Amino acid sequence: MVNQLLLQLIIILFPIFIQQFFFSRKKIAADSLRYQLLNGIMFGGSAALCMAFPVNLTADFQWDLRCIPVIISIVYSKGKWIPGIISALIVELYGYCAGGDAAALIMIGFAFMIAPSFLFAKSFAQSPPIKRVAVSLALALYSTLVMIVLLVIHQNMGSHIIEQPTYRYFAISVMALVSLIGMGISALLNEHIIESALLRLELERSEKLKIVSQIAASVAHEVRNPLTVVKGFLQLLKGSVDDRQKEYLIIALSELDRAEFIISDYLNLAKPQAEHLEIIEVSDFLNHTVEIMNSYSLIQNVAMHLNCNQTDLFILADKPRLTQVILNLIKNGVEAIPATGDVTVNAYYRNEEIVIEVIDTGIGMTKENLDHIGKAFFTTKDSGTGLGILVTIRIIEAMHGKITFESEVGVGTKVTIRLPAAPYKP
């Protein structure tokens, strides 16, 4: 029994190592059809190999760890059902071909074992790592209990146990323990893969930002000085030209203002750190910030809403930079609404953090666009540079906060900022 269990543990871990050392290096997109098919085949093959080295509890009732690879393929596939369905079909097909007196019972029971996994598939990826591991262990425990029930049903159908009862109970206990150990190791390895992928992406993003920041620091100051001189002379000329020429000067000055705004974005990108931290009362701060944008939103036929009635929400932040962040997000929300709509700002306390949400009812973004948010020079605007959101992200990170984006085409976009809550200020 020990040999079979050790072999099965190695088998169920094999596809996870394949993912780590081959798929991640080749950078196959995790949500691509090719990746899902390969995932399903690998984990299904792993489950089938587990079935080839079972532990015999009776003359015709066998127990193995087939559920673990299948459950892993379901819950760790970012809400995609294809890998889980493929691996489950491989298991059922192998069980049908292998046959046996208890084959039909186990095939039906297997469907009950993995069914709850599909219920968790959609929300699993958004859960914290600890919760994901706990859910995986719970699913393994559930599959073990179902297997025990199947064994009892099989006995009542007239089967005779060959081994002694003491050995049988010992074998069931060991199988249950090994199932939990196997699932625990598998879940932790998958969490390690996810963490490594996130760290790699963060490292790539940091390298790109470093390059952009160096360009910003070296170019922005050099460009701003001649622009300031040109702008000054154009303003002097406004008083000595006719009306038609004055129109041209106004257009030139507005474009210079736009150029200065872009240069400011570059400078902020090069130096995003929070310099002057102070305790900010969130409700009063948001009331003032939303008031600034009210006139702009009214011109665009957009209604502004603020939901923050608590006066005991405090954060330690750089007020000018945080104002820049909120104004930028509200402005983006207003500009995303083609005709009329709403922009709502919410603020509340949760898990030692102050959460600020900016929600619009605009055109929304596709998943592809959402994945590119925060990348240098990516923008969905016709006249944008893509630096506004990049600067926003860096400012929030400099204040030890987090920012996330959710969007649906035709519904709108939700931006969530999480900042550490500061102690109450009397």
Question: With 0-12 CB in 10 A as exposed, 13-18 as middle and 19+ as buried, what is 309?
Answer: exposed
Query: In this predicted structure, what is the pLDDT of residue 28?
Result: 55
Query: In this predicted structure, what is the pLDDT of residue 134?
Result: 94
- What tens digit of pLDDT does each residue of 301-314 get? 899 999 987 878 89
What CATH superfamily is the domain 277-420?
Answer: Histidine kinase-like ATPase, C-terminal domain (3.30.565.10)
Domain 2-202 and domain 277-420, same fold? Reply is no
Residue 43: which pLDDT band, with cuts at 50, 70 and 90?
A: very high
- What tens digit of pLDDT does each residue of 72-81 get? 999 988 888 8
Domain boundaries, the chain: 2-202, 205-270, 277-420
- What tens digit of pLDDT does each residue of 379-397 get? 666 665 566 787 788 888 8
DSSP state of 289: H
Query: In this predicted structure, what is the pLDDT of residue 418?
Result: 94
Residues 6+ apart with CB under 8 A from 357: 344, 345, 346, 347, 414, 415, 416, 417
Most confidently modeled range among 108-117, 165-174, 200-209: 108-117
Residue 346: which pLDDT band, with cuts at 50, 70 and 90?
A: very high
Look up tokens 């859910």; give the residue: 135
* Closest by Cα among 293, 316, 331, 334 to 398: 316
How is domain 2-202 classified at the architecture level of CATH? Orthogonal Bundle (1.10)
> 160 pLDDT exceeds 60?
no
* Closest by Cα among 196, 129, 139, 182 to 13: 182
Query: In this predicted structure, what is the pLDDT of residue 24?
Result: 57
- The structure's pTM equals 0.62
Residues 6+ apart with CB under 8 A from 367: none
